């Protein structure tokens, strides 16, 4: 048997796997969603506010990523070979998780009728249609928490330009505030429902 250092390798491996988690946290999209760990079992059943349930089979379709690392690279490049492999692995996993996330978001939006088909570039009308359709969230003092745009960076950048333009147009600001005010009332009704009754 050749000399080996199993304990050192165990810790190194643990740290390398930890790096993939940290890269997921650093991802602009995935980092926005705090992960929730299911410690045991093979199913997660999510009960929605309307009483319906979604069952997630945890062992089906795991997200996978493949990375190739040659023996030559391992021998000659040392730790930088592993670093390259982990980076590639993390990117693959993050991409898989992002795809899965968008798929889940789309399915959820479709199922409750919250989906809007832009059929073209992002416009002020689409923005208002979005606000009308969504459930908006507010701080305890009633201040609107705003929106978080998620998507391809180019698409998000263009949408942000449109939203900035809305903020500069008093007429559009009034229209937006009117929608938000109506949503705030709906939110207040929802919050007032958090109670114990007979």
Partner 1 sequence: VYERLLENWLTDVNELGYQFPFCEALVAEGYTILHVSRHGRGEHGKDVVARRSDGVLCTFQLKGGDIALPDWRKIRGEVEELVQLPVRVPGVSEDEPHIPHLVTNGELRGDAPESIQRYADDWVRRGYSRLEVWQYGRLSKLFLDAHGSFLPTGLKDFRKFVQLYTGDFSAPLPKTELAGLLEPITIATEGLSDTKMPRALASLALLAGYIIEQYARAGNNIAVVEGLTMTAAAILHAAERDSLDPEVYLPTLTLLYTDLVRSLNTFAAEALEGESWLVFSQGLADPHVYGARVTIVLGWLAKWALSQDPNAGRDEQHRLYGVALREFRARRMVGEIDWPFLLALALWLDRQGRTVDAEEVVLGHIRFVLAGNRGQDARGVPSPYWSHEQVLRLLNGMLAPYETENFAGHSYTIASALDVLVRRLRRQAVRVLWPDTTHLSLCDFKPDRKCDYFLWECSLGSLRTGQPERTASWSTWRSMTASVDRNEVPNVLLQHPEWLLPFLLTYPHRANRTLSALADSLIAKRAVLTE
Say whether residue 39 binds partner 1 (CB under 8 A): yes
Sole binder of partner 1 in the list 15, 80, 178, 182 (CB under 8 A): 15
CA distance linking residue 139 with residue 155, whole number of Å: 28
Look up tokens 């950048």; give the residue: 157
Q: In the numeric block, which tokens belong to residue 6? A: 């199993």
Nearest Cα neighbor of 133 from 107, 113, 162 is 113
Q: In the numeric block, which tokens belong to residue 150? A: 């998620």
Element housing 143 (H / E):
none
CA distance linking residue 93 with residue 71, whole number of Å: 23
Q: Output 29 or 166, the one with its CB closest to partner 1.
A: 29
Q: Output 71 or 193, the one with its CB closest to partner 1.
A: 193
CA distance linking residue 61 with residue 100, whole number of Å: 10
Q: How far is the CB of 198 from partner 1 (least distance, A)?
A: 6
Q: How far is the CB of 91 from partner 1 (least distance, A)?
A: 17
Q: Output 128 or 187, the one with its CB closest to partner 1.
A: 187
Q: In the numeric block, which tokens belong to residue 177? A: 């505030």
Say whether residue 1 binds partner 1 (CB under 8 A): no
Piece in contact with partner 1 (CB under 8 A), picked from 19-27, 84-92, 116-124, 157-165: 19-27
Say whether residue 38 binds partner 1 (CB under 8 A): yes
Q: Output 2 or 192, the one with its CB closest to partner 1.
A: 192
Say whether residue 2 binds partner 1 (CB under 8 A): no
Chain positions 54 to 73 lying near partner 1, rule: CB under 8 A, are 55
CA distance linking residue 77 with residue 49, whole number of Å: 53
Q: How far is the CB of 10 from partner 1 (least distance, A)?
A: 14
């Amino acid at each position: 048997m050749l000399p080996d250092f199993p304990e050192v390798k165990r810790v190194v491996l643990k740290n390398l796997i930890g790096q993939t988690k940290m890269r997921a946290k650093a991802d602009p999209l995935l980092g926005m969603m705090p992960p929730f760990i299911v410690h045991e079992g093979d199913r997660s059943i999510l009960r929605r506010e309307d009483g319906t349930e979604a069952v997630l089979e945890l062992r089906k379709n795991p997200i996978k990523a493949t990375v190739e690392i040659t023996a030559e690279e391992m021998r000659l490049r040392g730790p930088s070979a592993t670093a390259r492999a982990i980076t590639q692995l993390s990117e693959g996993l993050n991409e898989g998780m992002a795809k899965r996330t968008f798929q889940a978001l789309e399915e959820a939006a479709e199922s409750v009728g919250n989906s809007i088909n832009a059929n073209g570039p992002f416009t002020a009308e689409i923005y208002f249609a979005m606000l009308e359709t969504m459930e908006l969230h507010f701080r305890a003092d009633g201040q609107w928490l705003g929106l978080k745009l998620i998507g391809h960076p180019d698409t998000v950048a263009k949408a942000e330009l449109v939203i900035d333009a809305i903020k500069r147009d008093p007429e559009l600001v009034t229209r937006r505030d009117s929608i938000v005010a109506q949503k705030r009332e709906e939110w207040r009704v929802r919050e007032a429902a958090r109670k114990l009754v007979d």
